[in-house]
Each structure stands twice: as C-alpha cells, then as structure tokens.
Structure 1
Amino acid sequence: MNKQISILLSVFIILFALIGSLVKTTEVAPANARMIVDHSHNVYVSPPCFNEADVSNFLEEVTMKDALDMGYRPDSSCTEESLIGESRSLISLLFETVGLRKGKWDRDGEWQ
C-alpha cells in the first residue's frame, strides 16, 4: 500500500512539474500597485516612468485601482508597458507566491 502511494505521489509530482513548466501566465500590475496621478491632466504614471513623465504639480499617490476608478489613463507608453510583467511559468508563479522568487511587485503593491 505504501509503495502504491509513493508511486502515485511521484507521478503527481512529475506531472505537476511538467505541466507547471509548460503553462505560461503573464504578470500584470495588481490592484494595489502604487501609482502617481496627475489631477491636472487626468493621467496616471507608474513610478519607474515618473522621471520621464510630463506632469504638473497637482500630484497624488494612489493605487492602480483608484487611478482606474477615477477614469484616468496612462500618461505614456512607458507606463502602459511597465504595468505588464514578463511571461512566466506556473512554477515561477508558485515560487513568487511562496516568496522564493521576486516578481515585479511585492504583496503590498510596491515596485521592486
């Protein structure tokens, strides 16, 4: 009985590793990702693109969800592209979830 359970567990692990390495997912900015909104131009800027942005001084730090709820749009293609991460396997996603690998954002929405 123990040998059968061991064999089934081994097969499950092998199948999980195979499927997990073949299936891909794309990381996107979480709802709590930090954004800077420009209330004068009704746009949002991601922190990595802030130095290149042409913004006024009527700024506020909000979450991605808040910026979208306000109906604001990205200030540039830099911001749009920064909100999409790299393609990764399900195993990589699992490693990020348990903290063994860093993603583009941490659990608090901070850019890494």
Structure 2
Amino acid sequence: MKKGTWIFISLAGILLIIGFTLPITVHPSADTRTIVDHTLHVYSAPECFDQADLTNNLEETTYQNANELEYESESSCTDEVFVSEKKPLLIAIFN
C-alpha cells in the first residue's frame, strides 16, 4: 500500500478512538415535549404525567419554553427524564 493510504487509515483510527473515549455532556433537547401546569407553575415529562398531581390548567409545550417560564420540575421522575448525561462523542452524535 502507498504511504498516503497508511496515513489516512492511521488518522481515521485515531479519530475513531477519540470519538469513543472523549466524553461530552448531552443536555435534553430544547424541543423535547413537556407538559406545563399554569396553575401550579410546574412542568412534567410525558412519561411522568400519570403519576403527577396536576390541575386541569395544562398546556403541551417544549422543554425550552418551560424553562423560559421559570417553572419548576413537578417531581423527581421529571428530573430523571430531563437529566444531562455524559456520553462518548460518537454515541452522542448518533443518538
């Protein structure tokens, strides 16, 4: 093989190793579906809605909008759904 091919393969391998070892913090997406209760000024993840003790003054919105309204998380269940995680760079990109 040519010298240029070996250099390319070596660089690709190094980048692949870095991609699987370099951790980055992944935050919930700003457009993640969220339910807000305007009476209690709290938000809930859809996965936690059945257990949530909310009023009927509800709206479906985004996680970003709930934070802009400065509403609090309704429960620890919601906190767990919207937690930031450390993941390898390549896993975060393709996730």
| TM > 0.5 fold call | yes
Q: Which has the higher contact order (CA 8 A, sep 6+)?
A: 2
**SS class of match (1:81):** helix
User: What is the rounded CA distance, in whole Å, between the counterparts of 1:5 and 1:94 in structure 2?
Assistant: 28
| Structure 2, unaligned runs of 5 or more | none
User: What is the rounded CA distance, in whole Å, between the counterparts of 1:27 and 1:34 in structure 2?
Assistant: 17
In structure 2, the residue matched to 1:34 is 33
- 1:50-69 to 2 correspondences below 5 Å: 50-69=49-68
Moved over 4 A (4+): none
**SS class of match (1:62):** strand
Q: Matched residues, percent identical? A: 34
User: What is the rounded CA distance, in whole Å, between the counterparts of 1:20 and 1:63 in structure 2?
Assistant: 30
Name which of structure 1's ranges 78-87 and 57-66 shifts more when overlaid on structure 2. Answer: 78-87
- 1:93-104 to 2 correspondences below 5 Å: 93-96=92-95
In structure 2, the residue matched to 1:4 is 3
Matched residue count: 95
TM-score by length of 2: 0.88
The Cα RMSD (Å) is 1.7
TM-score by length of 1: 0.76
**SS class of match (1:16):** helix
In structure 2, the residue matched to 1:83 is 82
